[in-house]
Amino acid sequence: MKIAFTSCMSFTVFAQQPVWDQIAAQRPDRLLLLGDSVYIDAPPYPIGMTHPKDMAPVEFLQHVLARWRTQLDQPQFRALVSAVATDAIWDDHDFLWDESHGEGAISKIINRENIRISRALFNAFRRALDERLAPGSFPSAYNDASINQTHEPPPGYRHRALSPGLQLHLTDGRSWRIGRELLGANQRAQIEAKLAAAPDAVHLIASGSVVQADDDARWAQFDDYTWLLGLARKYKILVLSGDIHANRFKSINLGDGRWLHDATASGAAVCKLVGTGSKCQNYGLLTTDPAALRLDFFSHGTPDSVGSWAIDRNTWQTTSVA
Ligand SMILES: [Fe+2]
């Protein structure tokens, strides 16, 4: 099985988006979008606005709907996700805006309606992906009933058994990210139950945030980090992450022959610093066979300096692949 994975694209920053044609040429079986599929807070804003946090809910709804609509109408993206089974998780830029966790935005009453709106649009995006963008699968008007329900659930955790030996966990890393909590107790319990039900399988944990990094959006600054390392001492876990606008592969040695791997592919169609810096065309490719998982990373359609790696399914150790 071939799984392409990437994150971070913005039509307003990078309209051409050749990365989707590059991914299509690999003929993947699945695509994973690891967050920041739209940038709610990337300019341009409606006239008179300086930031989406200043918008009234109806303006915010129209603004966020337009962001999703333009991404779904981006021709190369549309062709790929119409043809390939695609799963998406969200990150801060599709949830509210950059640094929204640091300012405690999730807990402020003033943001409650805008969070309902961003949930509604992201849930609509997931439904459209599930339907391979069938006509009418995504709302075109801001007053469409499907995105105006009083109680809009958070996207939440999703699990897919890709095969008995390969399990995919799609986390919701934004709905319960409060203080030192990243996933919240309920979501952690859901994941633990699925891991325990397939103790010998390889578990792919899709996460917007990387496990370790220098910036603020990493597992290592949350209490959930200790929980994740504990699970990796028991189960074979490969985190697939986004966020950092670069590709990266990092393995954490937990001792006693145990490892936690984190494969990051980020910067599908955005600039290095969102709106400025060099334009990124990054993605990763996970290829599985009965003996090993192979990871390849690409930038601008060519192999990235991150290199190619194999993870032995039995020992869970990595080797560099020429
Ligand atoms: Fe991003």
Distance 151 CA to ligand 1 centre (A): 28
Look at residue 322 and tell me whether its pLDDT is greater than 90.
Answer: no
Full-model pTM: 0.97
What distance in angstroms lies between residue 38's CA and the mean position of ligand 1's atoms? 9
DSSP string over 113-137: HHHHHHHHHHHHHHHHHHTTT-TTS
SS3 71: helix
Alpha-carbon span 130 to 145, nearest angstrom: 19
Least Cα distance to 10 among 50, 47, 37 occurs for 37
Domain borders along the chain are: 2-321
Task: Look up the CATH number of domain 2-321.
Answer: 3.60.21.70
> In which residue are the tokens 């899709």 written?
206
pLDDT in tens, 79-119: 999 999 999 999 999 999 998 998 999 999 999 999 999 99
Identify the three-state secondary structure at position 147: helix
Query: Cβ neighbours of residue 57 under 8 Å, at least 6 residues apart?
Result: 113, 114, 117
Distance CA 188, CA 193 (A): 9
Maximum C-alpha span of the chain? 59
pLDDT, one tens digit per residue, over 151-184 is: 999 999 999 999 999 999 999 999 999 999 999 9
Check pLDDT > 80 for residue 215: no
**Distance from the alpha carbon of residue 245 to the mean position of ligand 1, in angstroms:** 6
Query: What is the reported pLDDT for 213?
Result: 82
CA of 223 relative to ligand 1 center, distance in Å: 23
Sign of the CA dihedral with 110 first, then 102, 244, and 186 last: negative
